[in-house]
Amino acid sequence: MTVRIRVIPCLDVADGRVVKGVNFVDLKDAGDPVEQARAYDAAGADELCFLDIGASHENRDTIIDVVRRTAEVCFMPVTVGGGVRTADDARALLMAGADKVAVNSAAVSRPEVVSDIAGRFGSQCMVASIDARQVDEGCWEIFTHGGRTPTGIDALEHAVRMAELGAGELLVTSMDRDGTRDGYDLSLTRVIADAVSIPVVASGGVGNLDHMVEGVIKGGANAVLAASIFHFGQHSISEAHDALRAAGLPARHNS
């Protein structure tokens, strides 16, 4: 076989607490990101993504502590995004046990941070996180600050630039679809996946397992990220793997 399509649950964290997370299992403290991460590790998630949505620069130690405690008890790859502005921010997360760091706004305002991180720690850990909205037929624009701030930058051009600067992966989120449960923006995912030689993660809008399959087959994604369909117990990780395999795609067998 070949490398498996990755199924990645994403946990939003603010000030060290889960904002939107698992509520289908009995957790002693449902707001604790580490307990939630353990639930996904046990469920056989292929990777985990922590998005620090409340990230203020004064409060970096909080997410670093979450990552450190997660790495003590979870043995799956972890990507951490939110508030990563410099190579030193990335270093602190990597040394705490993160495997990859996702850079979003800083990569728009100061793209050289991508080559800084890739140069110091390797492309394999440098994820460029791209939030895009459709502005015209076949045309998407980069938005920052949680999708609120337009930048005038073309999403496809930005994606290609990120790869050229040394990003090892692109996390592509459709801000039009995020939270809608209508499925990924497959055209956005496809146009970027076809233009770069690095893996692409589809994000934003998953409402059912078919959406994940479409993200790969039609969107060309190498990994599928989702939040609510897992957090609310609508589907399990192994059901997602089964759906991918049923569509003829390589996916892991959960033992």
Task: Return the residues of window 58-117 that contact other proteins according to CB under 8 A.
Answer: 68, 71-73, 75-77, 94-97, 99-100
Residue number with CB closer to other proteins (11 or 163): 163
Mark 159-191 as b/e (b = at least 16 C-beta within 10 Å). Answer: bebbbebbbbbbbbbbbbbbeeeebbbbebbbb
- For other proteins, what does the binding mask look like between residues 124 and 163, x meaning CB under 8 A? xx--------------------------------------
Which residues neighbour 125 within 8 Å (Cβ) at sequence distance 6 or greater? 90, 94, 98, 99, 100, 101, 117, 168
- The footprint of other proteins on this chain (CB under 8 A) covers a number of residues equal to 41
Angstrom distances, CA of residue 21 to CA of 49, 90, 211, 233: 12, 24, 20, 10
User: What is the C-alpha separation between 179 and 205, in angstroms, rounded?
Assistant: 6
Would you call 61 a catalytic residue per the annotation? no
CA distance 26 to 183: 29
> Whose structure tokens read 């941070």?
113
Q: Rounded CA gap, 40 and 6, in Å?
A: 13
- Region from 42-50, 105-113, 141-149, 224-232 binding other proteins, contact rule CB under 8 A: 42-50
Helix (H), strand (E) counts: the chain? 10, 11
Q: How far is the CB of 78 from other proteins (least distance, A)?
A: 8
Cβ–Cβ contacts within 10 Å for residue 221, how many? 27
The angle formed by the CA atoms of residues 22, 25 and 250, to the nearest 5 degrees, is 70
29 near other proteins, rule: CB under 8 A: no
- 13: closest CA among 211, 203, 231? 231
Catalytic-role residue among 116, 131, 178, 185: 131
245 interacts with other proteins by CB under 8 A: no
**Residues 188-207 contacting other proteins, CB under 8 A:** 194, 197-200
Q: Binding other proteins by CB under 8 A: which of 17, 20, 120, 161?
A: 120
**Given the complex with other proteins, which of 112 and 194 has the nearer CB atom?**
194
Question: For other proteins, which residue of 16, 82, 111, 168 counts as binding (CB under 8 A)?
Answer: 168
Taking the complex as a whole, the smallest distance from the CB of residue 107 to other proteins amounts, in Å, to: 18
Give the one residue of 116, 155, 222, 237 binding other proteins; rule: CB under 8 A.
222
Rank residues 105 and 123 by Cβ distance to other proteins and give the closer one: 123
The Cα 94–Cα 21 span in angstroms is: 23
Active site residue 12: yes
- What is the set of active-site residues? 12, 131
Q: Residues in the site for other proteins, rule: CB under 8 A?
A: 1-6, 41, 44, 46-47, 68, 71-73, 75-77, 94-97, 99-100, 120-125, 168-169, 194, 197-200, 222-223, 252-253, 255
